[in-house]
């Protein structure tokens, strides 16, 4: 047990002002400040939405769902690295 | 500010109160009418109440066991959630743990999810996975107590967090310096100071558990059925016995009303779910 | 002595319960949604069928209809509750005798179980015994039948929801209005601003955070409305009031098509999370700017 861990949270009284816990926040091209978890979440949301729309409108035309997955993956990489 | 005529305000609020109270009053009217009178011209004024429905509901052994189930489940759940929520909030407010704010937020999201979504997986898990030998969690009181934690435990954490953050940590530290154990600090110093917050949490979680219907209707079939599910049985299976249905409603309503009277002032802060804070 | 280990020990039971009854069911339902599974069919085993369930759901007219009905309900209910709640909150800002009693009465519906609210309104609205259809017919000659008219059923549910949940909106808005500082209002009056200008340029921006928070709570609750609707209309007539929660309750269990039912659950959860998350972000964005 190092001494460091033993310090109770000093700002316990001000929970409203707490910064996000994952503190690698940075400003990317997204309109809000995000950490990597937020960006992963956004990517998953986009992936699901894209897949559902693809099933409904594009797959009947003969284009495979894998194309949509590839697009979603590319978007995810972009968002997580640059977002 | 300009002076207002109090008469207008009183008339306005009497009207609003009438609209609020009338449905509840009507519930009571139906519950004290014999079945034959139900279909005549609806009378607003109550005359010659008939208590047969109450005698019938009270005398029904099945419904009485539902009442006991409801009481056991909501009391057990409220106690469990308040105590665990208290421990969790103590940990969240006193220790510097990695990612605890994320943990706090994702705990709360448990309450946001629509319960309908969890009906099927909980049903499947409780019939097939959460089992010891022949014992299944489905249709048991302990099972329902645990299931209700999914929405009540996040709520307890949400409401208790400000209470615990509000207790100066210097108190803990002073006690530690005096050589008290952690257990002693938590139970003998922090716990008594939290009592008002704990009481409100206990009562609100109790009301939520008491009022729950959807999960109880799906995850119980006989042994652990609650009063709210008993209510719907009189609608779907027997061609609706209106008087009985109204009477069970009154029976379900009264405990919540009593409890509401006890913490009327604080209930608002809890129900608004911390919305106004900060 | 006061180590992080103790912190985790104190948190452990909470996390364990939430894991077994919240997280695990979620993972499980996602897993099942990729399978074809009907335990009571000739082949009761789970068969992996890729994304076929998801292919099916985007063309499922009943499900899409239930999503549409839910969105319509949420919009109508939440907006009406905000307007009525604001008017009532403003009315509470004045002093008058008996204010405390009126406020207590106004709070009453909040603690009623949704299923009781449903049965109360059923008792009032059912054509044969209800008082409202009776007098509407006798005094105005209007026939209301929630059993046959989709519009009547839908409207009744919205009115019921307003009756049940407006008090919550009123209370949060009162709390917001009480905490407003008086200076900007006095200054505006000195500057000769009219009521409308004061409302739009001072009141609205200042209570906006509370309003967003209230909408957030109401949106979550409205999306999960099942009990009272189930009691009042059972999702009918037809599918006029079959909200997504009712749809799951009514379709999945009787049909025992667990694979497809899981898919419905996953999509509903997805839509709810996205809706709430978007609102949460808009709620937090202005706060973050302040830092």
Cis peptide before C237 (omega within 30 of 0): yes
pLDDT at A78 over 80: yes
Cβ–Cβ contact C91 with B under 8 A = yes
- Report CB contact under 8 Å: B95, A8: yes
Q: Residue ranges per domain, chain C?
A: 61-254+267-290
Any chains having at least 3 CB pairs less than 8 A from chain C are: A, B
Q: What is the pLDDT of residue B4?
A: 61
Beta-carbon separation of C248 and B4 below 8 A? no
Q: What is the set of domains in chain B, with CATH numbers?
A: 1-50 (no CATH), 52-271 (1.10.3720.10)
CA distance A21 to chain B (A): 5
Q: Indicate whether A4 pLDDT > 60.
A: no
**B114/C224 Cβ within 8 A:** yes
Instruction: Give dist(CA B2, CA B17) in Å, integer.
Output: 25
- Is residue C172 within 8 A of residue B275, CB to CB? The reply is yes
Alpha helices (runs of H) in chain B, residue ranges in sequence order: 6-31, 52-59, 61-94, 100-112, 115-124, 141-165, 169-177, 182-184, 191-193, 195-211, 214-219, 227-236, 242-262, 264-271
Cα A9 to Cα A4: distance, rounded to the nearest angstrom:
11
Taking contacts as CB-CB distances below 8 angstroms, the residues of chain B near A20 are: 101-102
pTM, entire model: 0.82
B119:C252 CB<8 A:
yes
pLDDT at C163 over 50: yes
State how far the Cα of B249 lies from the Cα of C230, in Å rounded to an integer: 15
pLDDT-based confidence at residue C202 (cuts at 50, 70, 90): confident
Residue A18 has pLDDT above 50, yes or no: no
pLDDT of residue C257: 81
Question: What's the mean per-residue pLDDT of chain A?
Answer: 68
Partner C contacted by A56 (CB < 8 A) = yes
Q: Residues of C with CB below 8 A from A56's CB?
A: 58-59
- Write down the pLDDT at residue B42: 65
With CB atoms and an 8 Å threshold, state whether B99 touches A21: yes
Q: How confident is the model at residue C73 (pLDDT cuts 50, 70, 90)?
A: very high
CB proximity under 8 Å: A 19-48 to C? 19, 31-33, 41, 45, 48
pLDDT digits (tens, 9 = 90+) for B67-123: 899 999 999 999 999 999 999 999 888 887 777 777 777 777 777 777 888 888 888
Q: Span C61-254+267-290: which CATH code?
A: 1.10.3720.10
Residue of A nearest to B168 (CA): A13
Which chain C residue shows the shortest CA-CA distance from A9? Answer: C4
Distance separating the N- and C-terminal Cα atoms of chain A: 37
Q: What percent of chain B has pLDDT over 90?
A: 9
Instruction: State residue B277's pLDDT score.
Output: 44
ipTM for the whole complex: 0.81
| Confidence bin at A16 (pLDDT 50/70/90) | very low
In B, minimum Cα distance to C222 occurs at: B114
**What integer pLDDT is reported at residue C284 of this predicted model?**
59
Per-residue pLDDT at C289? 47
């Amino acid at each position: 047990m190092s001494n460091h861990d033993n310090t109770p949270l000093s700002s316990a009284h001000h929970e409203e002002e707490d910064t996000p816990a994952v503190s690698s926040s940075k400003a990317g091209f997204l309109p809000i400040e995000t950490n990597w978890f937020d960006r992963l979440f956004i990517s998953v949301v986009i992936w699901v939405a894209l897949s559902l729309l693809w099933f409904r409108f594009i797959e009947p035309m003969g284009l495979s769902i894998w194309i949509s997955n590839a697009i979603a993956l590319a978007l995810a990489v972009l968002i997580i690295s640059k977002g | 500010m300009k002076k207002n005529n109090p008469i207008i305000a009183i008339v306005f609020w009497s009207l609003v109160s009438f609209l609020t109270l009338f449905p509840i009053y009507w519930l009571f009217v139906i519950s004290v009418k014999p079945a034959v009178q139900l279909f005549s011209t609806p009378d607003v004024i109550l005359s010659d109440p008939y208590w047969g429905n109450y005698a019938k509901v009270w005398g029904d052994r099945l419904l009485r066991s539902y009442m006991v189930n409801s009481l056991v489940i909501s009391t057990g759940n409220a106690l469990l959630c308040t105590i665990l929520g208290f421990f969790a909030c103590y940990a969240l407010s006193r220790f510097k743990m990695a990612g605890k704010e994320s943990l706090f937020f994702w705990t709360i999201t448990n309450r946001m999810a629509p319960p309908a979504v969890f009906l099927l997986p909980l049903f499947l898990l409780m019939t097939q996975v959460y089992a010891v030998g022949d014992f299944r969690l489905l249709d048991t009181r302990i099972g329902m107590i645990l299931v209700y934690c999914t929405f009540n435990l996040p709520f307890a954490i949400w409401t208790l967090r400000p209470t615990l953050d509000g207790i100066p940590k210097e108190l803990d530290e002073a006690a530690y310096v005096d050589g008290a154990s952690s257990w002693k600090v938590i139970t003998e110093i922090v716990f008594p100071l939290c009592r008002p917050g704990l009481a409100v949490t206990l009562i609100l979680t109790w009301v939520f558990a008491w009022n729950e219907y959807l999960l109880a209707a799906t995850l119980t079939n006989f042994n652990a059925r609650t009063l709210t599910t008993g209510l719907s049985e009189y609608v779907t299976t027997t061609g609706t016995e209106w008087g009985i249905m109204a009477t069970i409603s009154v029976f379900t309503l009264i405990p919540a009303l009593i409890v509401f009277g006890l913490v009327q002032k604080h209930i608002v802060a809890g129900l608004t779910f911390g919305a106004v804070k900060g | 002595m006061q180590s992080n280990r103790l912190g985790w020990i104190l948190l452990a039971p909470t996390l364990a319960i939430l894991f077994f009854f919240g997280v695990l069911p979620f993972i499980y339902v996602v897993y099942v949604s990729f399978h074809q599974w009907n335990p009571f069919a000739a082949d009761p085993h789970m068969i992996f069928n890729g994304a076929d369930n998801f292919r099916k759901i985007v063309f499922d007219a009943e499900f899409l209809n239930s999503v549409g009905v839910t969105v319509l309900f949420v919009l109508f209910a939440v907006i009406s509750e905000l307007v009525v709640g604001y008017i009532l909150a403003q009315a509470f800002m004045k002093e008058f005798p008996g204010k405390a009693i009126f406020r207590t009465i106004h709070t009453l519906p909040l603690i009623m179980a949704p299923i009781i609210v449903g049965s109360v309104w059923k008792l009032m609205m059912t054509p044969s015994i209800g008082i409202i259809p009776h007098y509407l017919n006798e005094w105005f000659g209007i026939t209301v039948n929630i059993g046959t008219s989709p519009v009547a059923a839908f409207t009744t549910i919205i009115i019921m929801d307003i009756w049940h949940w407006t008090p919550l909106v009123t209370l949060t808005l009162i709390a917001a209005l009480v905490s407003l500082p008086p200076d900007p209002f006095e200054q505006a009056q000195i500057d000769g601003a009219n009521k409308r200008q004061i409302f739009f340029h001072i009141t609205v921006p200042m209570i906006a955070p509370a309003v967003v928070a209230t909408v957030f709570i109401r949106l979550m609750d409205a999306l999960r409305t099942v009990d009272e609707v189930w009691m009042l209309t059972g999702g009918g007539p037809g599918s006029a009031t079959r909200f997504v929660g009712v749809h799951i309750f009514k379709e999945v269990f009787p049909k025992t098509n667990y694979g497809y039912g899981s898919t419905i659950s996953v999509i509903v959860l997805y839509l709810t999370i996205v809706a709430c998350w978007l609102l949460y972000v808009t709620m937090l964005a202005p706060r973050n700017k302040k830092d």
